[in-house]
């Protein structure tokens, strides 16, 4: 891959349909003794190119290269006392002493259930580290400083076996949140090792930028425009718009990005592009910019000129900018279409109560004729649809989960009014 250093890499060709994808850079290569001997820094392997090789920098070469100092050698950090050790075997970070009863938690996560949604799924892994078969345990969990809740687990876990536990969804407002889970009472007895009983996850929920009709994209390419690829995906994950290239000149990075939109008209270096992308009503989108090489639009580190990217709403107000020119393999933003101009036009009036609601939503309007009543989630999925000639209705919402929804009323003249409500 262009390295002038002799024997500088381990070249790996994968078998059994194994491969790497974008984001794998820096991952380790192990030898037969389970010791790290290399770190991934490039290659062409991907799900679309299983036969291409990957290149791992040799740890031995990175140990103390000629002319290196603390910023570009491993020895300074891994052997500061000059012990001369040629390797260090790994160890169990949970506990080096195996006991009979030892339930452990790890891998706590808060996962968003939908694009633009505010419902998050708490999960964690329960492991039996002890020698005794684990058949029951108590898990106490809480979100932020809220009320602690208890989950009683039963099952069968032999030593070193794990099970992913999924808890009920929680609704999170924009801001920073912490999910804490703690295990105790394995087999209704004392846990003999308390050092691995807790797992914590932190997530920051950002307010979703909103736009109407159009998403305005402004891209300034860097000195390596052929590494840049843009795409817009809807809530279902379908690519509805794309632009850019796959890295035509230079087979760098781990690849796996989609093919160019127009390979005969590639993006040009140091050029500004403006795109107006039409959006469907009541839909959530994820906009992603990829860089094939893995250095974002940060060409200045190579002596070139950085690029940049901004997203704006239909009024040209900026709603997203890149966190940094050198953003790595990719950077993503979520946006929501809040429907057309009828959203703010007082065509007819209606009231809903209570809000928040639990089982029934009382709706009353001051209009005559047929009325279509619909409930959508924040991703635009239709959940409830009713039609009535009356001037009021009771909407049964027991079946939908807790969260925020849109209520849409459409009269026989085609006029539309919408309002958000919360299901508790």
Q: Give the pLDDT band (50/70/90) at residue 260.
A: very low
Q: Is the pLDDT of residue 270 over 70?
A: yes
Q: Is the pLDDT of residue 252 over 70?
A: no
Largest distance between two CA atoms of the chain: 88
Average pLDDT of the segment spanning 272-278 = 92
Structure confidence at residue 93 (pLDDT): 64
Q: Is the pLDDT of residue 22 over 50?
A: yes
Among the residue ranges 86-95, 228-237, 256-265, 354-363, the one predicted with the least confidence is: 256-265
Structure confidence at residue 148 (pLDDT): 94
Q: Is the pLDDT of residue 89 over 80?
A: no
Q: Which of 293, 254, 240 is nearest to 307 (CA)?
A: 293
332 within 8 A of 357, measured Cβ to Cβ: no
Q: Is the pLDDT of residue 374 over 60?
A: yes
E-strand stretches of 48-159: 54-58, 103-112, 119-128, 134-143, 149-157
Structure confidence at residue 250 (pLDDT): 35
Structure confidence at residue 341 (pLDDT): 43
412 within 8 A of 369, measured Cβ to Cβ: yes
Q: Give the pLDDT band (50/70/90) at residue 346.
A: very low
Q: Among 108-117, 177-186, 287-296, name the most confident range.
A: 177-186
- C-alpha distances in Å from residue 416, one per residue of 331, 340, 395: 36, 10, 18
Question: What are the DSSP calls for 285-349, one per residue?
Answer: EEEEEEESSSSTT-GGGGTS---EEEEE-TT--EEEE-S-S--TTEEEEEEEE---GGGG--SS-
Among the residue ranges 77-86, 216-225, 238-247, 320-329, the one predicted with the least confidence is: 238-247
Structure confidence at residue 248 (pLDDT): 38
Average pLDDT of the segment spanning 249-268 = 50
Average pLDDT of the segment spanning 334-354 = 64
Average pLDDT, the chain: 83
Q: Is the pLDDT of residue 249 over 50?
A: no
417 three-state secondary structure: strand
pLDDT tens, 203-246? 988 888 878 788 999 999 999 998 888 989 988 888 888 888 65
Average pLDDT of the segment spanning 97-122 = 87
Structure confidence at residue 42 (pLDDT): 85
Among the residue ranges 152-156, 196-200, 293-297, the one predicted with the least confidence is: 293-297
Q: Is the pLDDT of residue 293 over 70?
A: yes
Q: Which of 144, 150, 147 is nearest to 200 (CA)?
A: 144
Structure confidence at residue 339 (pLDDT): 62
Average pLDDT of the segment spanning 150-167 = 92
More confident residue, 255 or 193: 193
Structure confidence at residue 174 (pLDDT): 85
Between strands 371-377 and 403-411, the pairing is: antiparallel
Structure confidence at residue 247 (pLDDT): 40
Instruction: Give the number of other Cβ atoms within 10 Å of residue 413's Cβ.
Output: 11
pLDDT tens, 23-65? 888 999 998 878 899 999 888 888 878 888 899 999 988 899 8
Structure confidence at residue 213 (pLDDT): 80
Q: Is the pLDDT of residue 370 over 90?
A: no
pLDDT tens, 162-213? 899 999 999 888 889 999 999 999 999 999 998 889 999 999 888 888 787 8
Question: What percentage of the chain's residues is helix, strand, coil (to nearest 5)?
Answer: 5, 45, 50
Verdict on whether the full-model pTM lies above 0.85: no
Q: Among 70-74, 148-152, 169-173, 385-389, name the most confident range.
A: 148-152
Instruction: Give the number of other Cβ atoms within 10 Å of residue 63's Cβ.
Output: 15
Percentage of the chain with pLDDT > 70?
87
Structure confidence at residue 413 (pLDDT): 67
Percentage of the chain with pLDDT > 90?
31
Q: Is the pLDDT of residue 96 over 70?
A: no
């Amino acid at each position: 891959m262009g390295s002038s250093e002799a024997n500088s890499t381990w070249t790996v060709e994968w078998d059994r349909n194994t491969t790497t994808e974008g984001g794998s850079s820096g991952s380790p290569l192990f030898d037969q003794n389970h010791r790290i001997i290399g770190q991934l820094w490039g290659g062409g392997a991907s799900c679309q190119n299983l036969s291409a090789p990957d290149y791992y920098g040799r740890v031995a070469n990175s140990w103390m290269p000629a002319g290196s100092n603390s910023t570009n050698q491993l020895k300074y950090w891994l052997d500061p006392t000059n012990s001369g050790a040629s390797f260090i075997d790994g160890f169990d970070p949970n506990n080096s002493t195996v006991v009979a009863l030892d339930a452990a938690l790890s891998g706590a996560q808060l996962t968003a259930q939908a694009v633009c949604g505010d419902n998050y799924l708490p999960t964690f892994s329960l492991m039996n580290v002890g020698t005794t078969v684990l058949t029951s345990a108590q898990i106490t969990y809480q979100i932020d400083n809220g009320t602690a809740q208890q989950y009683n687990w039963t099952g069968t876990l032999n030593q070193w076996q794990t099970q992913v536990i999924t808890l009920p969804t929680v609704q999170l407002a924009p801001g920073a949140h912490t999910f804490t889970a703690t295990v105790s009472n394995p087999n209704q007895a004392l846990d003999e090792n308390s050092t691995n009983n807790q797992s914590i996850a932190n997530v920051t929920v950002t307010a979703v930028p909103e736009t109407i009709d159009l998403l305005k994209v402004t891209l300034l390419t860097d000195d390596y425009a052929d590494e840049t690829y843009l795409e817009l995906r809807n809530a279902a994950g379908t690519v509805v718009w794309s632009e850019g290239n796959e890295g035509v000149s230079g087979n760098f990075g781990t690849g796996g990005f989609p093919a160019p939109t127009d390979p005969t008209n590639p993006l040009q270096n140091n050029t500004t592009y403006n795109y107006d992308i039409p959006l469907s009503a009541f839909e959530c989108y994820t906009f992603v910019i990829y860089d094939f090489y893995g250095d974002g639009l940060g060409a200045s580190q190579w002596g070139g000129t950085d690029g940049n990217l901004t997203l704006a709403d239909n009024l040209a107000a900026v709603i997203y900018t890149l966190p940094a020119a050198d953003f790595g393999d990719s950077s993503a933003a979520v946006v929501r279409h809040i429907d057309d101009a009828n959203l703010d036009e007082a065509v007819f009036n209606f009231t809903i109560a209570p809000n928040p609601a639990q089982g029934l939503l009382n709706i009353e309007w001051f209009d005559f004729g047929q009325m279509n009543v619909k409930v959508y989630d924040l991703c635009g999925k239709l959940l409830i649809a009713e039609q009535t000639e009356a001037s009021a209705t009771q909407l049964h919402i027991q079946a939908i989960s807790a969260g925020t929804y849109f209520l849409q009323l459409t009269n026989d003249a085609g006029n539309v009014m919408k309002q958000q409500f919360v299901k508790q």
